[in-house]
Amino acid sequence: MFYGFVPRSRFLLGTAGYPSPDILQQAICAADAEIITVSLRREGSQGGAFRDLLSQLNRRVLPNTAGCHSVKEAVTTAYMARELFDTPWIKLEVIGNADTLQPDPFALVEAARILCADGFQVFPYTTEDLIVGEKLLEAGCEVLMPWGAPIGSGQGLRNIEGLRSFRAWFKDVPLVIDAGIGAPSQAAQAMELGFDAILLNTAVAKAQDPVAMAGAFAGAIRAGQAAHQAGLMERREMAAASTPVFGLAQFS
């Protein structure tokens, strides 16, 4: 699914903001997440202890360029992450607005082009804009990660029809909903639309019980995927009786 790697789990989990390393470890296990995202800045602030924890978890690491606001900053951070974590994977974030944390589409495409040309396997955090998606694929990306809502907002899928169109347009591209998911029901909804995976952090890390919440999200993601594969019924404008008229008792 992701650059030749087919994960068993469709739940990608972030590692920032947990009450303790022990709770983080338990949450990752409860989520059954094979891929975890790590900010280079967080790793640098925690030192070797955090790196040791990652090695114990035996998960695939997806470093990210969180907090970067320019092409130069994002590219430099990506090179540092590749050296530190020994992986070509990079979750590319180039923030364009400090309030909404919306990505800068122009800088994002430019940074993606530079990194893909140098052998990175880029996971771009983008909006549900079809043109931006096309440009990212032209730049060399093989995965797209549209947001559901602003990072950490918990608003869920703010533009369902836009995301539905994004899924239909890029039907053969792995798509991951990244950012804005705040409840398991929202994650299930995204999977029901046909998205391939969910990436989130805050909704688990800031829950009263992060471990239980991680498990809840894991179950919701599996349920949403199963529902999509089973085929959801079409919505109707009017009621439709499930009991046939034929065979009903006749009264005169």
**91 labelled catalytic:** yes
Mean pLDDT for 85-99 is 93
pLDDT on residue 248? 62
Average pLDDT, the chain: 91
If you search the block for the tokens 């918990």, which residue do you land on? 154
Q: Please give the annotated binding residues, written as ranges.
A: 152, 179-180, 201-202
pTM assigned to the model: 0.89
Q: Which of 91, 135, 171, 206 is catalytic?
A: 91
Mean pLDDT for 62-77 is 94
pLDDT on residue 245? 61
How do residues 96-135 score in pLDDT, each as one tens digit?
A: 988 888 999 999 999 999 999 999 999 999 999 999 999 9
pLDDT on residue 247? 62
User: Is the per-residue pLDDT at 80 higher than 70?
Assistant: yes
Q: What letters, b where the CB count within 10 A reaches 16 and e where it falls short, cover 110-138?
A: bbbbbbbeeebbbbbbbbbeeebbebbbe
pLDDT on residue 232? 87
> Rounded distance, CA 183 to CA 221, Å?
11
Q: Please give the annotated binding residues for 1-deoxy-D-xylulose 5-phosphate, written as ranges.
A: 152, 179-180, 201-202
Mean pLDDT for 63-85 is 94
How do residues 185-241 score in pLDDT, each as one tens digit?
A: 999 999 999 999 999 999 999 999 999 999 999 999 999 999 999 998 888 888 877
